[in-house]
Amino acid sequence: MNKKKIGLLILVIIILWLVFPLSPYLAGLNHTEQKLYDKLQKSQDIYTLKEQKPKTIVRLYLHSIQEGNYEITYLFYNNDEKMTEEKKQFLKEAPEFHKKILSSFIFARSSVVINEDYKDSAVINLPPWTGTNIQFHMYKKNGTWFIYDVPFQ
């Protein structure tokens, strides 16, 4: 390959990276996050994530979806340990429903914004694919962040 083609290829890669940057939410877990995820899998208790930052919770939540571990994913919505009808329905619909969530986070770059008036709520503004402002909501209960309102139901 000559120098012009290599230079052009590098320029195209840089432009694509600027236009379509990798989402910080979908990047692989770091060592600390992996330890937290492993602990959550073992305990099946969402409160093992107490006092973690909302971004960490979202990354672990999305990781559980990528892994197809919907029993763990369910914990981010509800810590009810009983197998309710709601949970059975959730697990049945999870794969298809969560593909939409993952695809919405592919280009998500915005930070988690904690509500100034209500410190126990947070939001992530997702890329507006449909021309509307899509938001991903979270709430804090007993020091632990939960997923509240998923905009794709």
Give me the CATH number covering residue 100. Answer: 3.10.450
Parent domain of 40: 23-149
What is the average per-residue pLDDT within 23-45?
91
Contact indicator for 27, 35 with CB cutoff of 8 Å:
no
Q: How many domains does one find in the chain?
A: 1
Does residue 110 lie in a domain region?
A: yes
Of 145, 152, 151, which Cα lies nearest the Cα of 77? 145
Contacts of 8 (CB under 8 A, 6+ apart): none
Helix (H) and strand (E) counts in the chain? 5, 4
pLDDT surpassing 90 at residue 56? yes
pLDDT surpassing 70 at residue 91? yes
Higher pLDDT, 138 or 25: 138
Does residue 1 lie in a domain region?
A: no
Does residue 2 lie in a domain region?
A: no
Angle of helix 54-67 relative to helix 85-105, nearest 10 degrees, comes to 100
Contacts of 65 (CB under 8 A, 6+ apart): 73, 98, 101, 102
Q: Exposed, middle or buried: residue 122 (CB in 10 Å: 0-12, 13-18, 19+)?
A: buried
Does residue 8 lie in a domain region?
A: no
Does residue 7 lie in a domain region?
A: no
Ranked by mean pLDDT, which of 2-11, 19-28, 141-150 comes out on top?
Answer: 141-150
Contacts of 21 (CB under 8 A, 6+ apart): 107, 109
Does residue 122 lie in a domain region?
A: yes
